[in-house]
Amino acid sequence: MGYYVKSVFALPLPSYKNIKIFTMHRKVQELAASFFVETVAIRRHLHQHPELSFQEKETAAFISAKLKEYGISHQTGIAGHGIVALIEGKNPGKRCIALRADMDALPIREQSSQPYCSRNEGVMHACGHDAHSAILLSAGRILKELKNDFEGTIKLIFQPAEEKLPGGAKAMIDAGVLQNPEVNTIIGLHVLPSMESGSLGFRAGPFMASGDEVNITVKGKGGHAAMPDLITDTVLIASQIIVNLQQVVSRMAPPSTPTVLSFGRLIAEGSYNIIPAEVTIQGTFRTFDENWREKARNQIALIAQHTAIAAGATAEVFIEKGYPVLLNNDKITAQAQMAAIEFFGQEAVTDLPQRMTTEDFGWYSHEIPACFFRLGTANNAKGINNALHTSTFDIDENSLETGVASMAWIALKLLEKV
């Protein structure tokens, strides 16, 4: 087995019986390497200019300008600031593979001394969407260069508003991004700072949890804390509701179904000796079974309401339905994982456990066969391993080349599967 040296690291070249596939493999490697410097520059530009969900106007304009520079036809303004681009190969109607990247940032103040630190105060790409968009742009550029070497169509989806309900994926689906041409399969990736740079992770089946936002308002008669017999202790009742709701996980959930119910916010605007008339509770409910999810939502409401009534108060419950379970199609995920092994070698590809985090990519996975995989971005030797959604999150930028090559290669391999 020989080695072809990339700009960042060496990758094994498999022994191909088909010289065409061998040649394509080398072309993707060479193009990913040659575009690496610009991929980094794009990621840094996006990182410096983050925009919140549903506000990605300048981000979309920058991506559109790059697509125009690369000669890739596209439409803008889809479901807000979404962009859809098409790359047609030979026989474009044969099959269509979509590649998706999200574009929005988070309301976090970045704590970094890097020259590409966010210039928008209180807004930060702390979830790697800048990397996702940069990767998709360069992967699209590769596929444009190779359009005479494949049959079918590649659709690039740059999606707004992944981080905030109701999310951008459902809106883009409703706007028709999976049609004209009809998409057969959709692929997405996400950075993962717990995996070393240069590695990829896959899991077939239910991969990421559904996520619903739980809002409970306890109402009663407030008053002096020294006269509990004359008031309704809304704070105590709210506490009882939180404790009682743990039964949903410990006693009502199917033992084989991962389930999480967590509360992160309780607002009781009283004081040392004042019990407020109203207390609000906010939390998240997550699971991997859509049927159990619906039952659990009803149970949460009943327990909260009955607990409040038993103590002489009322509880208003509103559960905002969030993203569905992300389902990685078994066949497509196996094909994508084998393509990754073929390109990068077995040692670079790993099997992942399920994650209780959510992703609005899940909406696509309920419409068409999908594969959502992970890109390792850590460099422990350099101390680049801080978690997602933190003010110090960053990536080893060498991972961008892996991401670009993986997206392009997987798309090409899936176009072969009819």
pLDDT digits (tens, 9 = 90+) for 29-85: 999 999 999 999 999 999 999 999 999 999 999 999 999 999 999 999 999 999 999
Per-residue pLDDT tens for 211-265? 999 999 999 999 999 999 999 999 999 999 999 999 999 999 999 999 999 999 9
Per-residue pLDDT tens for 75-114? 999 999 999 999 999 999 999 999 999 999 999 999 999 9
Per-residue pLDDT tens for 289-308? 999 999 999 999 999 999 99
102 among known catalytic residues: no
Phi first, then psi, for residue 64 (nearest 5°) are: -60, -40
pLDDT of 22 over the 90 cut? no
pLDDT of 24 over the 80 cut? yes
Cα separation, 156 vs 102, in Å, equals 11
Q: 179: which 2 tokens?
A: 């049609």
Q: For 2-208+325-415, CATH number?
A: 3.40.630.10
Choosing from 56, 110, 145, 162, the catalytic residue is 162
CATH T-level fold of 210-320 = Alpha-Beta Plaits (3.30.70)
Identical fold, 2-208+325-415 and 210-320: no
CB hemisphere CA count around 181 (13 angstroms)? 21
Mean pLDDT across the chain: 95
Domain residue spans of the chain:
2-208+325-415, 210-320
Choosing from 51, 88, 102, 104, the catalytic residue is 104
- Paired strand residues for 152: none
What number is the average pLDDT over the span 329-340? 98
289 among known catalytic residues: no
CB hemisphere CA count around 130 (13 angstroms)? 31
- Is residue 249 within 8 Å of residue 286, measured between CB atoms? no
CA neighbor of 120 nearest in space, from 58, 178, 76, 173? 58
pLDDT at residue number 23: 86
CA neighbor of 50 nearest in space, from 391, 401, 414, 397? 391
Per-residue pLDDT tens for 150-199? 999 999 999 999 999 999 999 999 999 999 999 999 999 999 999 999 99
pTM of the model: 0.92
pLDDT at residue number 95: 96
pLDDT of 7 over the 70 cut? no
Phi first, then psi, for residue 187 (nearest 5°) are: -125, 140
- Is residue 223 within 8 Å of residue 235, measured between CB atoms? no
Cα separation, 16 vs 4, in Å, equals 14
- Is residue 218 within 8 Å of residue 308, measured between CB atoms? yes
